[in-house]
Amino acid sequence: MSHRPFAGRRAVLRGSLAASAALALPTALGAAPAFARSGRPRASWGVQAGDVTHDSGLVWVRSDRPARMIVETSATESFRRTRSWAGPLLGPGTDFTGTTRLHGLPPGEQIHYRVLLADPDDPRRGGEPVTGTFRTAPARRRDGVRFLWSGDLAGQGWGINPDVGGYRIFDAMARLDPDFFLFSGDTVYADGPIAATAALPDGGVWRNVTTEEKSKVAETLAEFRGNFRYNLLDENLRRFNARVPSIVQWDDHEVRNNWYPGQRIADTDSRYTEKSVDVLAARARRAFGEYFPMSAPRPGAREGRMYRVLRQGPLLDVFVLDMRTYRNANSPGDQAADPRGILGREQLDWLKRELARSRAVWKVIAADMPIGLVVPDTTEGRQHVEAVAQGDPGAPLGRELQIAELLRFVKHRRITGTVWLTADVHHTSAQHYRPERAAFGDFEPFWEFVSGPLNAGAFPASALDGTFGPERVWVKAPSASNVSPAGGYQFFGEVGIDGDSGELTVRMREQDGSVLFTKTLQPGLVGQ
């Protein structure tokens, strides 16, 4: 595979680790940080970069007290020549987090950055800088692109276990040195308390790092914020964030399992005193935006919009969907008409328009839920549909109608190179969709690849729905439900696009990075 060199990143990582080692994590995570006025600001939670394009990127940090965020960038890890970027004032209104946009960056280059936190009352008093690095997207096709994806972190009560080294999967991913990481939802489990211990089937004990906010389901803004801080206690994740930029989307567990707009939590669910899911979702959305570096929507766009397209050079556009915020209520999914569907009309029209505009060789559709896998919603005793497929292999019904409309549009507009990536179902698999096998046949064949979980319970393979003719070409999943990370079945996927041939190769990987399955797709071909 033709790919540009990755010079300097490991040395930058060593510098970042040295800085992090000097910064002890706060012990009281449940409240706003207490601070002495005589101290200097500290960035104990590391740094992150996100939504990187060919000439821009976002850098994130959290301070332990009020501070002014300053970012310096350089072409070299020595920082002999720097460019300075004035960031926001970090305070309690954003839980002391902040993001600074860098623009006018050179394409296809390694960017070294360091974040400094200055005392807002005395700019001469600054904390120890924390360093990171990322690569901007290439402007030239021959440079190639390589990225990873997965989802589902700290689910089902399986949290940071110091006995096994914490979230080790992030170290395996970092060793591959990708251009970026696509975090495909369930970035936290706000509805999943984490206890100090959990019993394992073999009689052993899984031991968790615990915090006050993770002792119950999240309802308040402080509790949602605490869920995002929890994952940043893991040093593997902090190291990964310092060297690999992210593209992040959300799904249900950032709020509550299987939620949808307008939902009311049953009175029988005593875990929640706040019964309006819309109220919970608003608080979760605010915390999500505070703890991840995400592009703000363009002027005139819907406030808080998460769906967006990230252009990664001539070879790749990434279309990040939000299959949660605009969906209709979960139901049996047998409606003959369903204009709202799982995307909402506004998002569907946006996706069609942007796909038609794209000139990239490959168009990755980052979906937070699968298309042809049946994902039931049995919350509070219901027998409803949580994703798209409803188990009836016949003509499209319910949310399938919207996906049929999209697939038909892609075919008739002769849009090539669409590949679907997702997580959510806690196993890994590859599905090929073909009209000759389908009840609905007005579409061109395409692939859907599923990965995850990162650190959560693993579950058996989901049933397939024949409406769009999926064939499960490969799968790895346990036979039992909620297998702990100690039992394996933790996964991530890798996508590499060769700059010379334009071939896209998907590799499905185990927690330690070993390859389980490989599929190579040819550019511009229909029916592969």
243-276 pLDDT, tens per residue?
Answer: 999 999 999 999 999 999 999 999 999 999 999 9
Cβ contact 95:33 at 8 Å: no
Domain extent listing, the chain: 9-135, 141-521
Written as six digits, the tokens of 241 are 């964030």
Let me know the angle formed at the C-alpha of 25 by 69 and 100, rounded to the nearest 5 degrees: 20
Question: Which fold, 9-135?
Answer: Immunoglobulin-like (2.60.40)
Which stretches of 232-338 are DSSP H helices? Answer: 235-243, 277-291
For helices 221-231 and 277-291, what crossing angle results, to 10°?
Answer: 40
- In angstroms, rounded to a whole number, what is the distance separating the alpha carbons of residues 341 and 337? 9
Quick one: pLDDT at residue 34? Answer: 56
**Which long-range contacts (C-beta less than 8 Å, at least 24 apart) are formed by 210-214?**
210/159, 211/29, 211/30, 212/29, 212/30, 213/29, 213/30, 214/159
- In angstroms, rounded to a whole number, what is the distance separating the alpha carbons of residues 247 and 308? 10
Q: Which residues of the chain have pLDDT under 70?
A: 1-38, 297-303, 526-527
Cβ contact 318:310 at 8 Å: yes
Quick one: pLDDT at residue 124? Answer: 79
pLDDT tens digit sequence for 6-46 = 334 444 334 443 333 333 344 334 444 555 555 889 999 99
Whether 141-521 and 9-135 are alike in CATH topology: the answer is no
Which DSSP letter does residue 175 get? H
Quick one: pLDDT at residue 3? Answer: 35
pTM: 0.92
Which H or E run contains 49? strand 47-50
Cβ contact 43:23 at 8 Å: yes
Written as six digits, the tokens of 503 are 């071939």
- In angstroms, rounded to a whole number, what is the distance separating the alpha carbons of residues 37 and 504? 54
Question: Which fold, 141-521?
Answer: Purple Acid Phosphatase; chain A, domain 2 (3.60.21)
